[in-house]
Amino acid sequence: MRGTPYPTLDGLVRAARSLVAARPGTLRLRVAGTSRAGEPLWLLSAGHGSRQVLTVAGAHANEPVGGASSLRLAGEFARDPAVLEALDCTWNLLLCLDPDGTRLGERWMTARPPGAPSSEPESHEPHEPHEPQEPHEPQEPREPYELRGSHEPREPWTPTVEEYFRGFYRPDFGGHPEFPPAAGDPRPPIPESRALMALIDDLRPVVQFSLHGVDVGGSFLQLTRSMPGVPEAFRAVVAELGVPLEHRPFDGMEWFVDSPGVLVRPEGAPDDDRDPSGFTSQSTWLYPMRYGAVSAVVEAPLWGVAAVGDPSPVADPERAIARAADVLLSRTKELEEALGGRAHRPPSDARGTPYYTAARELMDIGPGVVGTWTTYDARGLGGSALAATAGNAASLGIAARRIPLRAAAMMRQAFTDAPEGTAALDALVRDWSHELTTTFGARWLPVHRQTSLHLRTMRHVAARLLTGRPPAR
């Protein structure tokens, strides 16, 4: 095997055990909960300070960079525990919040996804969940991560956008652990959500970091309250690393645009968040606020697009929105036609059901997404209207392509049991991945830079909160 650009779920645990074995006085590993499928939720803790910091990785199945960042940060603490002593904190790293989804989402790195050219036979064998174990008998991680030094490691391969989407998985909106149902919803939170909230109740952290990795675009930061000095420091980190900055991110449409690349939750904003599918949730990002804590959501792109940071004004924003809406709706229709009778018929093989359910939801939200775009009111939210800048128009164009591409990729995987008629789906994934890459000049961002963005941002926010000053360089 050629290796993986990120640690797999099993690789995360192997590497964590290895680190604990090397530094048992600094690091500890325990199970903080169990997933719907019985997978353990591993918590790696560093230091023995009186104040708690919590980092959550792997909340989205298609965003593996958070686990890599967590391992790298733990490795740095293992080498220099004095950093934690100076902050008087214990830093807790939840290595993967959605292990069930990650098992499906990591196939683009570990196996030949359906439709990918290869002479090897396809394999779609289900994974047997691991029983929780105490951290003993450490093994060397198989992933190519240098946890002992700070230099930029050589990556085993440079993935393409098509390779990524060939194995793409991201669950339907109700399956995201960071977004449990709002109060009054008859559906109970999933076990992963309950475990995270219980962990927050137990730790009462000063700050919660949520590490994310948008597939194509730029970096941005979301804060649940304003933090003087942090936006400027974040943009400085982004610039130093040469990472594109998302001028006006599409996440947090109802959040205040503090400044380019930084969103802050407005004071007095409702706790409920309604997504395009109609699912209403209460984000776990807000849960620590009951203890006076702040949450910081840090996005690091896998493939960067320089255009998303262009502040140049757009002459006709409405036209840019209309073009994006046409792309989204027309491609969704094209996907419906490619599927034919299968568009509304789940696969006979139950292993394809998660892919189908998530893809079908994406195919149904198009009109709602377009409605949000055309009626968005920026008054009171920083005045950053949609498509008013070239950067935001580019972000809008990427979003319009991302939704049907994700749906097509998951539909292709849903029907591995019925290969007839999948050539059209293969063509859509291939052509749309290529068009997304070439239209926006998407360039792979080395994993070391993705993780550096996460680590430097977390260090700065934590230092500001715990010491009142920026971290030492």
Ordered DSSP codes for 85-108? HHHTEEEEEE--S-HHHHHHHTHH
Residues in Cβ contact with 438 at an 8 Å cutoff, skipping those fewer than 6 apart: none
Length of the chain: 473
- pLDDT given at position 117: 59
pLDDT at residue 124, as a whole number: 36
pLDDT of residue 107: 87
Out of 141-145, 164-168, 468-472, least confident range: 141-145
Q: 284: helix, coil or strand?
A: coil
Instruction: Say if CB 328 and CB 370 are below 8 A apart.
Output: yes
Query: How many angstroms from the chain centroid is the CA of residue 63?
Result: 4
Report the distance separating Cα 185 and Cα 84, nearest Å: 41
Output the pLDDT for position 251. 80
Task: Give the residue with greater pLDDT, 131 vs 419.
Answer: 419
Alpha helices in 340-446 (DSSP H): 353-364, 366-375, 390-414, 423-440
Residue pair 254/380 in contact by the 8 Å Cβ criterion:
no
Question: How, if at all, do strands 89-94 and 40-46 pair?
Answer: antiparallel
3-state secondary structure of 368: helix
DSSP state of 221: E
Is residue 308 within 8 A of residue 218, CB to CB? The reply is yes
Biggest distance spanned by C-alpha atoms of the chain:
63
Which tokens sit at 233? 């420091």
Whether the per-residue pLDDT at 442 is higher than 70: the answer is: yes
pLDDT tens digits, 245-282: 998 887 888 899 999 999 999 987 777 766 666 666 78
pLDDT at 71 over 80: yes
Please count the CA atoms within 13 angstroms of the CA of 196 that sit on its side-chain side.
Answer: 31
Provide the terminal-to-terminal Cα distance of the chain, rounded to the nearest Å. 38
User: pLDDT digits over 359-397, tens only?
Assistant: 999 999 999 999 999 998 888 888 778 999 999 999 999
Please report the pLDDT score of residue 153 as a whole number.
58
Predicted pLDDT of residue 110 = 80
Please tell me the distance from the alpha carbon of residue 272 to that of residue 236, in angstroms, as a whole number: 32
Cα–Cα distances in angstroms (integers) from residue 21 to residues 17, 134, 137, 143, in the given order: 6, 11, 8, 18
Cβ-contact 390, 307 below 8 angstroms? yes
Report residue 130's pLDDT band, with 50, 70 and 90 as the boundaries: very low
Q: Is 180 helix (H, G, I), strand (E, B) or coil?
A: coil
Pairing of strands 220-223, 294-299: antiparallel
- DSSP symbol at 52: E
Give the burial class of 149: count Cβ atoms within 10 A of its Cβ; 0-12 exposed, 13-18 middle, 19 or more buried: exposed
Higher pLDDT, 198 or 282: 198
pLDDT (0 to 100) of residue 385:
86
**pLDDT exceeds 50 at position 295:** yes
136/18 Cα distance (integer angstroms): 9
- Closest to 444 measured CA to CA, from 309, 304, 242, 307: 304
Q: Are 57 and 66 in contact (CB under 8 A)?
A: yes
Of 160, 159, 161, 192, whose CA–CA distance to 175 is shortest? Answer: 192
- Which residue type is seen at 16? A
Amino acid (1-letter code) at residue 31: V
Quick: pLDDT tens for 215-230: 999 999 999 999 999 9
pLDDT exceeds cutoff 60 at 154: yes
Say if CB 276 and CB 372 are below 8 A apart.
yes
The reported pLDDT for the residue numbered 458 is 98
User: What is the rounded average pLDDT for all residues in the chain?
Assistant: 89
Q: What is the mean pLDDT of residues 449-461?
A: 98
Determine the pLDDT at residue 382. 83
